[in-house]
Structure 1
């Protein structure tokens, strides 16, 4: 029987018939249907056609196949009846499990990590993004002798999990993979140095940096577009944004700020991706404030929040006491009246939460007011005297602080200004 392994990937991936499998080992706080929906959404994000979903309860993962023998037989029957070309497991499979399942099911098998890497491979738009995803993919492939790394030389997106030339002639050259990874790391180190220089240049400027973070498809890019008037890709797709985008935005109390839209997080985000995207995520680490955008209408919104906090901890983001955070409870327009009333009431009781609809604009003004207040919470009042001829100094104070009062005495212009201590120090050193 032909398994479809030899098909060209461009033919195979788009419209490939797939079955989603959730091996439920117990202990998860997530809703099984929501997990299956998310995995189906991941598959559909790269054009895979999901024909069936299966939820298997597994007492203990089998080292050879993850599932029990009866479950594997039932799945094989579903593959034959549905003429499925691909089975996607919402779990991390070992190389042995993946290989044995492909033999038993007689079709391609992909685990959660491989699926996410495949999506990232198609979505990375910049040279840096492609380098990051390629490095993550090679790290993943290094322990799997069932694929050929040479697929990475193809020009189109993706990384060859779903078919392609050479699949039947499995030759993994570990030395070549290691050399390639070393070169990619050197290139990304250079990217990181360049990004650090840009960040230092921004830090010398007076504007704070605000980073949007959140679970994938929570509405970050929609909110980014709403706040900046940009047209960043904001579709109802998982991982619509991979490469960071920065724009200046007006912000109450601070004249303006730099807003950064970042890659969405996801549960069980592959460690290879966390490491590979570290240069990108440094924008989050160095931010003055985080806006955590949550899909408050999602059934697993609390679990998604926990996943985001876990990733933030992994990449070294300081605690909320050091790096202020505001939660934007997005998509209130999708709630029924009872749930909406409860969400609005709870948000109103907290000073770090704003209920919004990035799509309609509801609550966005309140969000900017809250963010502005957080950014200026540590500001102090200073009295500054300047020569009346120092127009540049006066303009600096108006641009970077809140001028509360001003008056002229002879040749001296006096200003009472509220600003951050670091901005005051920057002003004092401006002519040094």
Structure 2
């Protein structure tokens, strides 16, 4: 049966977050093609119940096991047939089982790794928004996708743009759960150029960033994102993590992955080929476009996003990133070059630093300082297994927490 007439069942992991909300908006626009069969959230039972009442999934899961009863009782009170589940293991089982064909992996942080790997091993169409899965365990994830026959469609606007600019690997429809994919090939790539908005502090010097507040840092000028991702954008760590992601997704070394600041956020990335051609993907800054690409690929489906009027937007500007004021980008390149467990250490230390900043315990400039000190204290080791990476993650978090406490005391 052609893919265009097949109902695609979708698990939205991180359903109560900004990406989950955008995914459900796109799903709701295609009732004859897409259905949210699984909804999973971290700890916000009330929000998850509200989504269940609207989308009526077969399964709902809450990551916190202590909230299972609240979810179960809430579903019963709403007279919904939705089955209640709790715990990260349950979420991973739902992502890999018969409950869904497509998985939107939007759980924030390293917590999303197990369910993402499970979906890849099971050969799902994986709409990947959990960047930590690639940063922490990129080689393992890509190997799992190859072995399982999964097709990874990145949902970061930059990587999704690259995905769209690459040629397709064969004609025909992609059948969820069949192991057959029409994911793009990487033939003839010379380099990738990721664009960055520059965040809310573009143009400020290092000295001008000393008194930045959490409220200012999460006020992104273009994108509506969660607090952690917004802070990462403000420090340019988000772009650094995307460089590491691009390395795994598209098979290029760091010296063939460049970053340009593009404040209009209309050109989402560029791809340069060996024949001198450069292709770019443009569009309004709205995550629903990337999600619609993921759900519909290789076809195009409506996303709810308007077309781009270049005359109305006028000029397109590009500039080099300022790695003196925003050293997190430099640190990410260094971690990628070091390899092994260094990206996992970078990611863990950054999560601790951003959390400490959002809690008002450390200053904005202490974020890269904490990350750099952690990388220096914990040299890269071989990343031969998931256990080795988890150990690196734990050690980095412990060290970063001690640094954060020391910075708070001073």
Per the TM superposition, whether the score is higher than 0.5 is no
Normalization by structure 2: what TM-score?
Answer: 0.30
**TM-score normalised per structure 1:** 0.28
More helix by share: 2
The structure with the greater share of residues assigned to strand is: 1
